[in-house]
Amino acid sequence: MRFFYAPIVSPLHELDPDESKHLVRVLRAQVGDEVGLVDGKGNRYRGNLTQVDKRACLLETSLVESQPEPTHSLTLVIAPTKSTDRFEWLLEKAMEYGVRRVQPIWTARSERKKEKTDRWEKILVNALKQSQQLWLTELAPAVSWEVWLASEGAKGASGFIAHCEPAEKLHLFDAFPTDASSWVAIGPEGDFTTNEIALARSKGVQEVTLGDQRLRTETAGLAAIQMHALVQR
């Protein structure tokens, strides 16, 4: 069954124009057809079409499944890449792996300083539907590295900073906790500066390595996501 994204608040739900257009023009849906719906907040619904229109399809919905919010979750704190295509690819993979939150950050060496929030949200929603998961990865508003380190999100979980500067570092795979939520920070193409690393260290953030290879930002992000998934198995 194909799934549609629908933030449902009542049993009678109106699909947004994009989803309605796809349902009508591509899938040739008819009144009485049944579709699957997910709201990105842990709930899956069954929807029966009562009105078919390319601008607004109406469905009668019934709850099929509710899934509690994942525990011991991961927040990926990352500097968006200069090439938006590479960052968008990473967002897709983050959703497929069930990353709970992506926190974009601006750093001293960031080559991109502009968000594409609407486009990035659509990529996450499409990946949610494709992977048939029930919890949508949250895309937080971008903030500076300094603001993130001072935030409650940074203080409320085990924090790690991956960088390439010489230092005494654990491998991230060995550092991730198995019984608590955590976040890991990945810098821009030019890495974090020594001042940014020192600031993180002063806040109690643990320095980690992802291995001997020097990785692109999006590759490092995916490596961190995969390590967390393996640790949580």
Of the residues 40, 66, 92, the one at which a domain ends: 66
Which runs of E-coded beta strand occur in the chain?
3-5, 12-14, 34-38, 43-51, 58-66, 74-78, 101-106, 138-139, 143-144, 158-162, 170-171, 182-186, 206-209
Burial, 224: exposed, middle or buried (Cβ in 10 Å; 0-12, 13-18, 19+)?
buried
Q: What pTM, to 2 d.p., does this model score?
A: 0.91
Dihedral of CA atoms 170, 144, 157, 76 in degrees, nearest 10, equals -70
Beta bridge partners of 77: 103, 185
What single DSSP character describes residue 129? H
Q: Do 54 and 154 fall into the same domain?
A: no
How open is the CA angle 110-111-113, to the nearest 5 degrees? 75
Q: Do 132 and 28 fall into the same domain?
A: no
- Distance from first CA to last CA of the chain, Å, rounded? 28
State the residue range of the domain holding 151. 74-231
Q: Do 121 and 196 fall into the same domain?
A: yes
Of the residues 50, 66, 82, the one at which a domain ends: 66
Of the residues 66, 95, 116, the one at which a domain ends: 66
Give the β-pairing of 182-186 and 74-78.
parallel
Whichever domain contains 35, its CATH number is 2.40.240.20
Would you give per-residue pLDDT tens digits along the chain (233 residues)?
Answer: 578 888 888 899 999 888 898 888 888 989 999 999 999 999 999 999 999 988 889 999 999 999 999 889 999 999 999 999 999 999 999 999 999 999 999 999 999 888 999 999 999 999 999 999 999 999 999 999 999 999 999 998 999 999 999 999 999 999 999 999 999 999 999 999 999 999 999 999 999 999 999 999 999 999 999 999 999 88
The number of folded domains in the chain is 2
Q: Do 112 and 23 fall into the same domain?
A: no
Whichever domain contains 79, its CATH number is 3.40.1280.10
